Structure 1
Amino acid sequence: MNKQEAISKLKSEPLAVEPDQEFEVRRMLPEDAWGVARCFYAVYGEHYPFDTYYIPDKLIRENENGNVISVVARVGGGAVIGYGALYRSSAYFPGTYEIGQALVLPEYRHTFAALCMQDHLLELLDSIEDVHELFGEAVCNHVISQKLMVLAGLEETGLELGLMPAEAFNDLEFPGSRVSTLLGFRTVRDRAHDIYVPGEYAGALEFIVSGLDVSRNLLESRGYIHDSSTELVPQYIDHAHVARFNLNRAGEDLPQVHAGTEEEARNRKARVMQVFVNLGDPGSGRAVELLRGRGYFFGGFLPRWFDTDGLLMQKLDTLPHFESIKLTSDRARRILDLVREDIERNPACRYLLGK
Structure 2
Amino acid sequence: MSESSFRLVPIDEANAGLVGEVFRAAYGDAFPVKYVYRPEAVLEEIRHNRLAALLAVDEDNRAAGYVSVFKSSPNPRLWEAGNMVVVPAYKQTDVSMLLAAAYTDGTLFAGNASDGLFGEVVCCHYFTQVSGIKAGQVDCALELDQLDGPSFKDNRTGSARVSCVLNFKEYSRPTGPVYLPPVYGDFLSRLAQPLQPRTFAPATAPLPQDGLTRHEDRYYEAAQTWKVAVSEIGADWARFTAKLLAEAKRRGVVSLQLTLNAGCPAIGAAVEELRASGFFFGGLAPRWFGSDGLLMQQVLGVETEYEHIRLYSPTAKELLAFIRADRASVTAGAGN
Asked if TM exceeds 0.5, the reply is yes
Distance 1:207 1:225, change over 3 A: same
Distance 1:84 1:170, change over 3 A: closer
CA contact (8 A) 2:138 2:167 kept: yes
How far does residue 39 in structure 1 lie from its aligned partner after superposition? 1.5
CA contact (8 A) 2:276 2:334 kept: no
1:287 counterpart SS class: helix
Within 5 Å, which residues of 2 pair with 1:1-355?
22-89=5-72, 91-121=73-103, 122-124=105-107, 127-170=110-153, 172-212=155-195, 214-226=196-208, 227-317=210-300, 318-347=302-331
CA contact (8 A) 2:121 2:128 kept: yes
- Structure 2 counterpart of 1:147, one-letter code: V
- Structure 2 counterpart of 1:148, one-letter code: S
- State the alpha-carbon separation in 2 of the partners of residues 123 and 225 from structure 1: 40
Distance 1:294 1:46, change over 3 A: farther
How far does residue 331 in structure 1 lie from its aligned partner after superposition? 1.8
1:323 counterpart SS class: helix
Distance 1:333 1:20, change over 3 A: closer
- Structure 2 counterpart of 1:116, one-letter code: L
CA contact (8 A) 1:294 1:348 kept: no
- State the alpha-carbon separation in 2 of the partners of residues 126 and 75 from structure 1: 22
How far does residue 47 in structure 1 lie from its aligned partner after superposition? 2.7
How far does residue 21 in structure 1 lie from its aligned partner after superposition? 10
- Structure 2 counterpart of 1:251, one-letter code: G
CA contact (8 A) 1:20 1:108 kept: no
How far does residue 203 in structure 1 lie from its aligned partner after superposition? 1.9
**Matched residues, number:** 333
Deviation digits for residues 313-352 of structure 1, max 9, x if unmatched?
111122432121112221221111111111121126879x
- State the alpha-carbon separation in 1 of the partners of residues 152 and 2 from structure 2: 25
- Structure 2 counterpart of 1:321, one-letter code: E
Distance 1:125 1:193, change over 3 A: farther
Distance 1:190 1:129, change over 3 A: farther
- State the alpha-carbon separation in 1 of the partners of residues 248 and 21 from structure 2: 34
* Structure (1/2) with the larger helix percentage: 1
- State the alpha-carbon separation in 2 of the partners of residues 67 and 296 from structure 1: 31
- Structure 1 counterpart of 2:83, one-letter code: Q
- Structure 2 counterpart of 1:108, one-letter code: Y
- State the alpha-carbon separation in 2 of the partners of residues 242 and 324 from structure 1: 19
- Structure 2 counterpart of 1:190, one-letter code: R
Deviation digits for residues 131-156 of structure 1, max 9, x if unmatched?
21111111111111112212332111
- State the alpha-carbon separation in 2 of the partners of residues 71 and 39 from structure 1: 12
TM-score normalised according to structure 2 size: 0.91
Aligned to 1:15: none
CA contact (8 A) 1:293 1:348 kept: no
2:287 counterpart SS class: strand
Cα RMSD, aligned residues only: 2.4
- State the alpha-carbon separation in 2 of the partners of residues 87 and 240 from structure 1: 20
1:304 counterpart SS class: coil
How far does residue 173 in structure 1 lie from its aligned partner after superposition? 4.8
- State the alpha-carbon separation in 2 of the partners of residues 93 and 80 from structure 1: 32
- Structure 1 counterpart of 2:245, one-letter code: E
CA contact (8 A) 1:26 1:120 kept: no
- Structure 1 counterpart of 2:53, one-letter code: S
TM-score normalised according to structure 1 size: 0.87
2:57 counterpart SS class: strand
Aligned to 1:3: none
- State the alpha-carbon separation in 1 of the partners of residues 68 and 45 from structure 2: 11
Deviation digits for residues 85-121 of structure 1, max 9, x if unmatched?
11102x1111111113111122222223222112124
- State the alpha-carbon separation in 2 of the partners of residues 43 and 350 from structure 1: 47
- State the alpha-carbon separation in 2 of the partners of residues 256 and 289 from structure 1: 14
1:160 counterpart SS class: strand
